[in-house]
Amino acid sequence: MLVTPKFDPVAERPGVDHRQIYVLVAWLVDGARSSTDARSFVEEVCRRLLAAGVPLDRVGLFINTLHPNVAARRFLWTSAEGVTMQEGPISLFSPDQHLENPLPLVTSRQTSVRRMLTSPASLTEFTILADLREEGFTDYLAQPLIFTTGETHAATFATRHAAGFTGDQLAALERVRQPLARVVEAYLLRMNAACIISTYVGRGSGNQILQGRIRRGDGEEIAAAILFADLIGFTELSNQLTGEQMVETLNDAFDVVVPLVEANGGEILKFLGDGFFAIFPYGGSRLIDDAVRSARQTIMEGEERLARAPVGRDVAFRWALHAGRFHYGNIGGANRLDFTAIGRPVNYAARLLAAASDLSLKHVASGTVAEYLCTMPRVAAEVEFKGFEGKQKIYRC
């Protein structure tokens, strides 16, 4: 259980404007609705505390996240630079960092840590305190932000005032701590929801879900270049490796090529076992030729990077490229839904990839997109696709 610390005054100066603190608390309780994002929220809190007479020069907000690659986010406000945001890797707070920073102590014990940086004894306790002292700071406070679930994050406050914080100022920060935690909790819940949804269903699908498009049939018609990819020789490779080794190999291969999809203006819609289905939307100011060439650029860059990567010694991708309009939205039954793409162009792209496998071709394109890839597209074969009338021309790309 958190024990609210009692702070002794350090040096008495003009008192805190408690009316301003009351207004700040009321603003937080009301959800800080005038702030449009996390940065503006942190900026506004600091501005209001300064106006209330709390001499802040550095404020940090540290929140853990649900993210596949990011352990935490730090929002840091300074009087000189305003608010910056930094993401911490999964390895954040290794055993050594527990000695460097008081935050693991603050969050694990749900207790505040206050240190006068003018005291030599304080500077040997945590490495960061000595660093702050070298930058001219005189007083430091780290507070736990305890959520309704018991999950704990942290906020830190530091000043360069010669006498540090007064007892009245520290009490004001303590008064703000709990309503601050409620707003941060609401922000984190939405951020984590957006991150989790986008991680599992894609950025575009995630945005639609968060906007309330969660009923069966919700969706839209979109036009996009369609890119299907899978690993060549996956069955043979999976027969040679354990399940754990195969998953590691797939992840290593996806780590090389998947970031290129987004970098070139596309989005992964689905992972399909050993492959994936990506789209590069067009329409408005973006023309089909730009989308198709972006998808092609993803293929070429992906192969170049994979060839240089260690996993490239064992695997290579097969690619199929098409384009068209299709329905992108919700399907499912009962309480289990999925955002997916349905339509003739999607089916055609899947058939195109299967034909490439049968013909031992590494990358192929449909007649719809071949003209955007080269001036003299070459037909590699003409084959029948299930569900499509007549023989279909397959182009090398």
Which CATH number goes with the domain that contains 352? 3.30.70.1230
Residue 210, in any domain of the structure: no
Residue with tokens 């349905």: 342
Residues 162 and 53 in one domain: yes
Residues 231 and 376 in one domain: yes
Instruction: Write down the pLDDT at residue 82.
Output: 93
In angstroms, the CA 346 to CA 361 distance is: 20
Residue 6, in any domain of the structure: no
Residues 225 and 351 in one domain: yes
Question: Residue 101 sits in a domain of what CATH number?
Answer: 3.30.450.40
Task: List pLDDT tens digits, range 30-48.
Answer: 999 888 888 999 999 999 9
210: pLDDT strictly greater than 80: no
Domain span holding position 354: 215-396
Residues 89 and 233 in one domain: no
Residues 192 and 309 in one domain: no
In angstroms, the CA 274 to CA 254 distance is: 9
Residues 391 and 300 in one domain: yes
Counted domains in the chain: 2
Handedness of CA 26, 28, 31, 33 (dihedral sign): positive
Query: What confidence tier does 98 reach under pLDDT thresholds 50, 70, 90?
Result: very low
Q: Which of 120-129, 370-379, 380-389 has the highest mean predicted lDDT (pLDDT)?
A: 380-389
Q: Which of 200, 234, 265 is at the close of a domain?
A: 200
Query: What confidence tier does 54 reach under pLDDT thresholds 50, 70, 90?
Result: very high
Question: Does residue 186 or residue 201 have the better pLDDT?
Answer: 186
Residue 126 neighbours by CB distance under 10 Å: 21
Q: What is the DSSP letter of 73?
A: E
Contacts of 218 (CB under 8 A, 6+ apart): 208, 329, 330
Nearest C-alpha neighbor of 112 from the set 74, 148, 154: 154
Question: Does residue 72 or residue 74 have the better pLDDT?
Answer: 74
Query: What confidence tier does 190 reach under pLDDT thresholds 50, 70, 90?
Result: confident
Report pTM: 0.63
Residues 66 and 147 in one domain: yes
292: pLDDT strictly greater than 80: yes
Supply 306's token pair: 């994979």
Supply 68's token pair: 């596949």
Supply 373's token pair: 């890839």
Task: List pLDDT tens digits, range 113-141.
Answer: 999 999 888 888 888 899 999 999 999 99
Residues 194 and 228 in one domain: no
Residues 346 and 377 in one domain: yes
Instruction: Write down the pLDDT at residue 229.
Output: 95
In angstroms, the CA 133 to CA 178 distance is: 28
Residue 164, in any domain of the structure: yes
Which percentage of the chain shows pLDDT scores above 90? 61
Contacts of 382 (CB under 8 A, 6+ apart): 391, 392, 393, 394
Residues 234 and 323 in one domain: yes
Instruction: Write down the pLDDT at residue 4.
Output: 46
Q: What is the DSSP string of 2-41?
A: PPPP-PPPSS--SPP-HHHHHHHHHHHHTT-TT--SHHHH
Residue 13, in any domain of the structure: no
Across the range 224-248, mean pLDDT stands at: 92
CA distances from 53 to 161, 316, 328 (A): 12, 62, 54
Instruction: Write down the pLDDT at residue 73.
Output: 82
Across the range 271-281, mean pLDDT stands at: 91
Residues 266 and 148 in one domain: no
Nearest C-alpha neighbor of 224 from the set 301, 286, 308: 286
Q: Which of 167, 200, 233 is at the close of a domain?
A: 200
Task: List pLDDT tens digits, range 303-361.
Answer: 999 999 999 988 999 999 999 999 887 777 767 767 778 899 999 999 999 999 999 99
